[in-house]
Amino acid sequence: MQVTVTVNGTEYVREIEPRLLLVHFLRDTLGLTGTHWGCDTSNCGTCVAWMGGVPVKTCTVLAAMADGREVRTVEGLASGGTLDPVQQAFSDKHGLQCGFCTPGMLMTSRWLLDHDPDPSEETIREAISGQICRCTGYENIVRSVKAAAELQREGAK
């Protein structure tokens, strides 16, 4: 079947198998390997990208369901060579660690800050609760999201 999917503002028309998952469409068909593939059982959240403006676990979505829709991946965060505040803050506050969970964390954080520019620690922890970081505790990640909110507020002044 043929699908037309707009990813990070670029329209792609591709022939796919109807059973193809969105995570594999992004990674293998389009070569956008920023979206990671971890568990394939909807548990880890490293595959989170946006579809229709909402974070989704792309291992639970068929690529066919993205037909005619907008998808945003971690490759679409930076703009004109400038990192998004969430990317900058994860770098500044050591939220990157091994990096495996990072794309999903960044996409969820971006969505959170779009909807709540000054989230509490509790709100941040709840927002990322569907995503597993295997590296350490979540301290640096939570600190990074808080720092991103601050960077964003400063940038808006």
How far is it between the farthest Cα atoms of the chain? 48
Residue 114 CB, nearest approach to ligand FES (Å): 22
Q: How far is the CB of 5 from ligand FES (least distance, A)?
A: 18
Cα-Cα end-to-end distance for the chain: 48
Residue number with CB closer to ligand FES (115 or 134):
134
| Strands of the sheet with 10-15, listed across from one edge | 10-15, 2-7, 70-72, 48-51, 54-57
Helix (H) or strand (E) holding 71: strand 70-72
Positions that interact with ligand FES (CB under 6 A): 37-40, 42-47, 57, 59, 97-102, 133-135
Query: Closer CB to ligand FES, residue 38 or residue 76?
Result: 38
Q: How far is the CB of 157 from ligand FES (least distance, A)?
A: 31
DSSP per position, 7-33: ETTEEEEEE--TT-BHHHIIIIIS--T
Question: Closer to ligand FES at the Cβ: 43 or 120?
Answer: 43
Measured from the CB of residue 87, what is the shortest distance to ligand FES in angstroms? 14
Which CB sits closer to ligand FES, 54 or 156?
A: 54
- Nearest-angstrom CA–CA distance, 21 and 3: 13
Strands 70-72 and 2-7, by their bridges, are parallel
Smallest separation (angstroms) from ligand FES to the CB of 94: 10
The residue (of 2 and 128) whose beta carbon lies closer to ligand FES is: 128
